[in-house]
A = this chain, B = another copy of it.
Amino acid sequence: MKRTVFLGLFLLSLNALQAEDGYRLWLRYDLIGNKALLQQYRSTLTAVIFPATTPMLAAARQELLTGLRGLLGVTPRSSGTNSTLIVRLQDDPLLGSEGFAIRTTSQKNILLTASTDKGILYGVFRFLRLLQMQEPINRLDITSTPSLPYRILDHWDNLNRRVERGYAGLSLWDWFTLPTYKDQRYTDYARANASIGINGTVLNNVNASPYILTPDWLEKAASLADIFRPYGIRVYLSVRFSSPIDIGGLKTADPLDPAVREWWRKKADEIYRLIPDFGGFLVKANSEGQPGPQNYGRTHADGANMLAEALDPHQGIVIWRAFVYSNETPEDRARQAYTEFKPLDGQFHKNVLVQVKNGPIDFQPREPFHPLFGAMPHTPLLLEVQLTQEYLGFSSHLVYLAPLFEECLDADTHLNGTVSQTIQGIAGVANIGNDRNWCGHIFAQANWYAFGRLAWESGGAAAPYSAAIATEWIKQTFTNKPSVIDSIKQMMMASREITVDYMTPLGLHHIMAYEHHYGPGPWLANATRADWNPVYYHKADTAGIGFDRTTTGSNALEQYAPGARAQWANADSCPDQWLLWWHHVSWNHRMHTGRTLWAELCRKYYAGVDSVRWMQRCWTALRPAIDPERWQQVNMRLAIQEKNAVEWRNACLLYFQTFSRQPLPEAAERPDHTLEYYKQHIIYYAPGTNQ
């Protein structure tokens, strides 16, 4: 034993030589530094009994042994009668198809059981998390099942490897060298997802190329599916509704045309021959220029049901996006999805799920929950959130998104409970690319992590989760030292509200610059359609600012249940954070803080910048506690965030000041440029667009 401990210490010091570039995510498995605890773990885990008879069990077993070897610095024996971890299938209806149990037995063994291979897989990752978080393992009694059956990443990855709204390099999928070249990252991606319970991945952009359904590309997709399968991840594809025309040689894509229906049936059969557990299709139809059933005078339900019938024999599903807004309809864009989809409730085939964004506009720093949640009782819904920070500073800004997701999940629909109670799953628009650290920003990894964890836990009684999940992530990613955890957690938990403050406080939304959505552009007014213009959303004039969505305005409010409406309907009682979303109010409107709207707006923008600087100070203080490479990475990104926050504040306040005609707060930092400068300062070649 002495020799082993000695080796272990060497391992520790040498792991420190490894490049800390963020690649290992939250699956580091470094030797446990706390010697007493290490000794305890070692004596509790002298052996592992884990018969692995399937590829999934083999993957779980390999992960377990890799993890234990790293964390404990020893390889447990493969047989034992006590102090043994026993992993085995054992039928238990309460655990369902994905749950697991981990219990300390009377013989001082640890028993990890599940009814399915997948439950075992998730249980193994859960067990490794216990060790990574340095929790006691001598009296375990854990049972865990997921809240939601569908926990899916949506990759907006184009077939040319550009990622729409991607800020972490190219697509992970090197389509050109697939199916032959199988990058190690594909496996590591699957491991990371399995570790947080993600069980599906849509490989390609919802703005889909029809070529994804050609034989060459299906073979590539099948190659990825083969790699992901042992990790419990099903592959889905986004499809273009006009594919029967584009690649099938048909003259129409009319969903009621028999030849079209036949084409999709045959295509589904072809796919399932290659990918027997294929998940299904994700469809963006009749939205932002994409073709759809309305091109043929048919409804969304007609289109979705045709695909559903093709997939049904294979147990596949159709995920049909509710993110639609017509070029013609002049009404408030916030109303459009509800207007189109609410009447279709009950008309969809049973294997169709409708995917609804968290808010009615488009992934803003803050939006009220989407009115369709709770309003489609006969239609299974998926919640769509965005991990990639299209409107939140890309991967340059530290913004922990779990509080945003949780705000939506916990919102009371006043119809069928909270949003989380109205859905069958969550889809997260991935923030992953081929950057070495996967997400561009080390802290953006936390959004990937939190997404999976929230999808697993959201329905339970232990909410709020955001802070607890942050703790998990920090412990596994950085350190188990309590003071460091606290400090990082404070930064993370504050970060979303800070971003709202320096970008879009008090209910403002969609005032970002055109196309790339990176910096401020509240003055923009000449887009090809009105509702792509910031001025459409803030409606600032000399009388005041804000979008009146009450009965005196667009009345988007009427799409919500009375109980939900009540909180927002009156400008005087509406919480400050939602005010300008629902109301157009005067610059001197009295806020709940007692300040005028203008004064509060100034306070928020200044507080946003000050708080970024506070994050910088926190991070500087953490320098001794973090490895130099990752510390430096984050430090440089915080410098970008600070610069951008100042630009946001100055540009927005100088612009809104032209309407409010009131001064900036005395003694506050003066803008270092004129409004004209900000208007002229164009960002060329921002990532995430098709430039």
Contacts and interface: CB of A to CB of B under 8 A. Distances in A.
Interface of A: 10-11, 14, 17-18, 21, 158-161, 169-170, 175-177, 180-182, 184, 209, 211, 214, 216-217, 394, 396, 434-436, 629, 636-637, 639-640, 643, 684-687, 691
Contacts of A159: 684-685
Given A21-B184, A636-B182, A686 B176 contact: yes
A153 B635 CA distance: 31
A181 B685 contact: no
A640 B643 CA distance: 46
Nearest to A440: B177
Nearest to A688: B176
Nearest to A518: B176
Contacts of A11: 14
15 contacts: A159-B685, A160-B691, A170-B170, A170-B434, A176-B396, A176-B686, A177-B396, A177-B637, A177-B640, A180-B639, A180-B643, A181-B637, A211-B684, A211-B685, A434-B435
B180 A636 contact: yes
B629 A184 contact: yes
Contacts of A684: 159, 209, 211, 214, 216-217
Nearest to A17: B14
Contacts of A217: 684
Nearest to A636: B181
Given A184-B629, A643-B180, A684-B211, A14 B21 contact: no
Contacts of A170: 169-170, 434
A434 B160 CA distance: 16
A435 B17 CA distance: 22
Given A177-B396, A636-B180, A434 B161 contact: no
Contacts of A636: 177, 180-182
Nearest to A691: B160
Given A21-B184, A181-B636, A685-B211, A169 B434 contact: yes
A636 B434 CA distance: 19
Contacts of A10: 10, 14
Contacts of A686: 176
Given A175-B685, A435-B434, A685-B160, A18 B18 contact: yes
Copies in the assembly, this chain: 2
A685 B176 contact: yes
A170 B174 CA distance: 12
A674 B685 CA distance: 44
A441 to B, nearest CB: 10
Contacts of A691: 160
B176 A687 contact: yes
Contacts of A436: 436
A604 B11 CA distance: 53
Given A10-B10, A175-B685, A181 B434 contact: no
A184 to B, nearest CB: 7
A640 to B, nearest CB: 5
A217 B312 CA distance: 53
Q: Which 10 A-B pairs give the minimum distances between C-beta atoms?
A: A14-B14, A160-B685, A181-B636, A159-B685, A211-B684, A180-B640, A160-B691, A180-B639, A170-B170, A10-B10
Nearest to A18: B18
Contact of A687 (B21, B161, B169, B435): B161
Nearest to A684: B211
A534 to B, nearest CB: 22
A209 B643 CA distance: 26
Contacts of A435: 434
A619 to B, nearest CB: 15
Nearest to A640: B180
A217 B217 CA distance: 38
Contacts of A158: 685
Contacts of A18: 18
Contact of A169 (B169, B180, B184): B169
A621 to B, nearest CB: 21
Contacts of A685: 158-161, 175-176, 209, 211
Contacts of A161: 685, 687
A369 B435 CA distance: 40
A513 B346 CA distance: 51
A506 B347 CA distance: 66
A12 to B, nearest CB: 11
Nearest to A643: B180
A239 to B, nearest CB: 16
Contacts of A182: 636
Nearest to A642: B180
